[in-house]
Amino acid sequence: MHKERLQQLILKMLNEHQSIKSVTATGPDFTNVEEYYFTFPDDKYLWSLTKSSDGEIHIFFYPNKSERSIFLRFGPADIDSFYRDRLKQLFETVRGKLYGFDGVLSDILDEEL
């Protein structure tokens, strides 16, 4: 995969975060990895983000939504440093959607405007 296209994808996911759906979590488990599965855009493709105990974040793509053992994985070596920071933002965005917390924050903070 081309590095530039992956970096564009990260920005698109951040800019269109409302299209991130069906967030579920696993872990942390015995490997100390925090993982969030989600679909984007809307319910079209399955993705996940992992964060290891050392803070390294990877993004996974699953070509078959019902089969999580087949995937493509991309990490820090696959993207430039600017986009590594955006990947961290994306991780926090997805984590915030887990229990609808992003909606709670928007509801409370947008009320004040």
Tell me the three state secondary structure of residue 85: helix
Is the N-terminal amide bond of 28 cis, ω within 30° of 0?
A: yes
Claim: this prediction has a pTM higher than 0.85:
yes
Which residues are CB-neighbours of 60 under 8 A, at least 6 positions away?
47, 48, 49, 50, 71, 72, 73, 74
Partnered with residue 8 across adjacent β-strands are none
Q: How far is CA 2 from the centre of its chain?
A: 19
d(CA 89, CA 96): 10
| Tokens, residue 45 | 């493709």
Mean pLDDT by 10 residues, the chain (113 residues): 90 97 80 89 96 94 94 95 96 92 86 57
